[in-house]
Amino acid sequence: MKNVRNDFPILKQKINSKPLIYLDSAATSQKPIQVIEAELNFYKTSNANIHRGLNTLSRMATEQYENAHGKVSEFIGAKSAREIIFTKNATESLNLLAYTLEKNLSKGDEVLLTKMEHHANIVPWQQLSKRKGVVLKYAEITPDGKLDIEDLENKISPKTKIISITAASNILGTINPVEKVGKMARSAGAKFIVDAAQAAAHMKIEVKKINADFLVFSAHKMLGPTGIGVLYGKEEPLEELEPFLTGGDMISEVNLQSSSWNILPWKFEAGTPNIAGAIGFGAAIDYLQKIGMENIALHEQELLKYSLKRIGEIKSVQIYGPRAQERTGILPFNIGTVHPHDVSEILDRNAVIIRAGNHCAQPLMQQMGMEGVCRASFYLYNTKEEIDALAKGIEQTKKIFGA
């Protein structure tokens, strides 16, 4: 793991003449040179539109684009690449579902979420609720930031048609028992959706084990480029859905008054997709596979444990969330009553990049009684020395604001 830093050009950069310490991978990860070069090489050698024409260049581009689907399929243990749809990001994947699942819902049907969802897994369902009159329910979380699984079970009713939960919280890092919830969803006859945006980068995702109908994530949080995400779906429920976006490439035949749809996954990929992004994503998956997701998870656990101790022992620092074993490499904290934006401003001056604010999860913040929180998040390229630098920055912040 020590050598991986050399693969990330940005980490050699200085900010305010200090070495960059990037502790915001939960927002977006940095990219290894292998990913950057994969995109560059595509544009230099194979750029053409895909699935169009029988020319050599288009064949090269198509092959690489389709290969990327194959890599994702293998990465999460899907049955085939037919189950892998490329979208813009996890948010678009969830919107696609909220729109296309609509036809099977009636007024009064229920969608069950949790209080630790990212806005991306709340707002599309609120919009659906406005269109169809479905009722949104939220499973509670415990004071230490875990999913209250009993409450979730109690909130399942014969009217529950969709259960959509995050695999890992973007603020607390809490890892949720998705397999267990999946079983509950199946016995209730509800469609089960997993938001793996915060999980796919950090742990081995096995869709057969999770047994979700749909699972979504974004490439940019897992060393890949921005602008490309995944909707995984089992073939059967995907076949049942109408297309979300329509136009070129997603059709099999177009007549003046009606059209028929292409086979999976192309039925859901209208228009020219993010070809270079997909190829970069494929390279990111190769990179992750080479290191091994188990090794990445172990490294993050080690950093998390170190940070819980190192940062936790600083007086007037409060850390939120469950125990190390039950979370990903995310450290949410506050320093006394100092506002998170003031903390991040001081840290920024030390070239320590963290996230501060409400983190696109306002319901969770309200639930935890927090106005804002600082979040340091770790990935495979981070080191204990960087956590020491964070500690130093926190001490400096305390001094400036008298906390």
Nearest approach in angstroms of CB 66 to other proteins is 40
Query: Of 161 and 359, which CB lies nearer to other proteins in the complex structure?
Result: 359
Query: Of 204 and 349, which CB lies nearer to other proteins in the complex structure?
Result: 349
Nearest approach in angstroms of CB 42 to other proteins is 36
Q: Annotated catalytic residue: which of 165, 196, 335, 360? A: 360
Contact segment (CB under 8 A) with other proteins among 143-151, 176-184, 284-292, 337-345 equals 337-345
Contact segment (CB under 8 A) with other proteins among 47-55, 212-220, 234-242, 393-401 equals 393-401
Q: Which residues contact 255 (CB under 8 A, 6 or more apart)?
A: none
Q: Both ends of the chain: CA-CA distance in Å?
A: 36
132/242 Cα distance (integer angstroms):
17
55/61 Cα distance (integer angstroms):
10
Size of the site for other proteins (CB under 8 A): 16
Query: Of 261 and 401, which CB lies nearer to other proteins in the complex structure?
Result: 401
Return the number of other C-beta atoms located less than 10 Å from residue 271's C-beta.
10
Query: Of 308 and 368, which CB lies nearer to other proteins in the complex structure?
Result: 368
> Three-state SS for 263?
coil
395 near other proteins, judged by CB under 8 A: no
Reduced 3-state DSSP string for 90-127: HHHHHHHHHHHHHHHCCCCCEEEEECCCCHHHCHHHHH
Nearest approach in angstroms of CB 138 to other proteins is 21
304/204 Cα distance (integer angstroms):
18
341 near other proteins, judged by CB under 8 A: yes
Q: Which residues of 322-346 are buried (b: 16+ CB within 10 A; e: fewer)?
A: bebebbbbbbbbbbeebbbebbbeb
Query: Of 367 and 396, which CB lies nearer to other proteins in the complex structure?
Result: 396
Contact segment (CB under 8 A) with other proteins among 20-28, 191-199, 246-254, 339-347 equals 339-347
The contact mask relative to other proteins for 359-388 (x = CB under 8 A, - = no) is ------------xx----------------
Contact segment (CB under 8 A) with other proteins among 127-135, 197-205, 229-237, 335-343 equals 335-343
> Three-state SS for 393?
helix
Closest CA to 6 of 384, 385, 381: 381
Query: Counting Cβ atoms within 10 Å, is residue 361 exposed (0-12), middle (13-18) or buried (19+)?
Result: buried
Contact segment (CB under 8 A) with other proteins among 42-50, 167-175, 217-225, 342-350 equals 342-350
Distances (CA, A) of 90 to 97, 151, 204, 214: 11, 26, 18, 11
For residues 164 and 125, the answer to whether their CB atoms sit within 8 Å is yes
**Catalytic (active site) residue 374:** no
> Of the candidates 342, 367, 388, 391, which one interacts with other proteins according to CB under 8 A?
342
Nearest approach in angstroms of CB 393 to other proteins is 10
> Of the candidates 159, 204, 310, 349, which one interacts with other proteins according to CB under 8 A?
349
199/174 Cα distance (integer angstroms):
10
16 near other proteins, judged by CB under 8 A: yes
User: Site residues (CB under 8 A) for other proteins?
Assistant: 16, 338-339, 341-342, 345-346, 349, 357-358, 371-372, 396, 400-402
